[in-house]
Amino acid sequence: MQDYRGKWLYEPQHILFAVSDAVATITFNHPDKRNALNGPMLSEMRDALLEADDRMDVNAIVLCGAGKDFCAGYDLEQSYQGRGETTQMGDFEYRKAGQRFDDDCFSLERVQENALIIPAIHKPVIAKVQGNCLAGGTDIALSCDLVITADDARIGFPATRANGSPPAHMWIYHCGPQWAKRMLFTGDKMTGADAVKIGLALESWPADELDAAVDALARRVAAVDQELLSAHKRIVNLALEQMGAGTLQRLAAEVDARAHLATGPRRLRFKSDMKEHGLKEALTNRDAPFGDGFVRVRGR
């Protein structure tokens, strides 16, 4: 719960929040589930970002994941279970994602808002990416102002093979049309070291040096006054707006809703496997034709 300015009135349960030396660190805190995203975690992330943006003792923000992974994507088991009908207000019928186009758009836009708060706030946000940064994890990371990865991080959107298209789409603005298509056509992933080569990330570091590298960069950014950081972020993001980034996010949600209604054999097989055998087998069958699932960047 928040007051009218967005300040916290509760202790978060799904993230960690700390401030030191003008840097706020927001940490996804479900390492046992590879920090898979669910509604409460996304809500707390959004509230934490607004809290950090409001506080005068914060100049820069680091977004990261506890344990071995940044974020393995959306919690698909929760997503495919659907929404309950009983609330504290009573029993009502709600929109059902994945059944009607407009209802799915509505649901995707609500989820999308959590990623889009990152470019909307005034202060710089640095994504620190280790381990898996997949599917919904890329929605979050690629919305950040700077992306710093471990050399062996795994970045990609495997869900494009049978589940949909990224509902928050910053791929083309980071790596251009050909690489965006290459990654989305196959759902392949790449290492953090290769992600730097194509522009998905700014820097990559050996895993045991990542914390120190991000800490040093965050402190360097935080040494600049808030007003100047905000001015720099705003002008670059306005340039992205001029290139259509805001409009594209609305279209990305609508295209993802369209993809959810697809009736091709791979899409139907995934839904059937989920219903009859569960998530693990559905993912195994979806990914089997793609081998290790990695694209390796060739050439200079």
**Residue 181, both tokens:** 């298509």
Give the pLDDT of residue 5.
52
Percent of the chain with pLDDT over 70: 92
Side-chain half-sphere of 60: how many Cα atoms within 13 Å? 24
Pick the CATH number of 15-290 from 3.30.565.10, 3.20.20.140, 3.90.226.10, 3.40.50.720: 3.90.226.10
Please give the pLDDT value at position 288: 95
H/E stretch holding 154: strand 154-156
Mean of the per-residue pLDDT values of the chain: 91
pLDDT digits (tens, 9 = 90+) for 171-206: 999 999 999 999 999 999 999 999 999 999 999 999
CB 116 within 8 A of CB 168: yes
Is pLDDT of 3 > 60?
no
Q: What percent of the chain has pLDDT over 90?
A: 81
What's the pLDDT score for residue 56?
97
pLDDT tier at 77 (50, 70, 90 boundaries)? Answer: low
What is residue 194's predicted lDDT score, i.e. its pLDDT? 98
Q: Give tens-digit pLDDT for 95-135.
A: 877 678 899 999 899 989 999 999 999 999 999 999 999 99
Residues 199-228: tens digit of each pLDDT: 999 999 999 999 999 999 999 999 999 999
pTM of the predicted model as reported, rounded to 2 decimal places? 0.91
What's the rounded Cα separation, in Å, for the pair 179 and 199?
10
Count other Cβ atoms within 10 Å, centred on residue 115: 27
Q: What is the mean pLDDT of residues 144-167?
A: 96
- In the three-class reduction of DSSP (H, G, I as helix; E, B as strand; rest coil), residue 168 is classed as coil
Please tell me the predicted confidence (pLDDT) of residue 87: 57
Radius of gyration of the chain (CA): 19
Model confidence at 66, in pLDDT bands (50, 70, 90)? Answer: very high
Quick check: 238 and 119 in contact, CB under 8 A?
Answer: no
Q: Token pair of 178, please? A: 């050909």
Residue 217 phi, psi dihedral angles, 5° rounding: -65, -45
pLDDT value at position 89?
Answer: 61
Give 4's pLDDT tier (boundaries 50, 70, 90).
very low
Measured CA to CA, the distance from residue 180 to residue 171 in angstroms comes to 6
Burial code of 128-142, b = ≥16 C-beta within 10 A, e = fewer?
bbbbbbbbbbbbbbb
pLDDT confidence of residue 78:
60
Q: What pLDDT digit, counting tens, does each position of 234-270 carry?
A: 999 999 999 999 999 999 999 999 999 889 999 999 9
Closest-CA residue to 33 (of 63, 62, 64, 70): 70
In this structure, the strands spanning 15-20 and 154-156 are unpaired
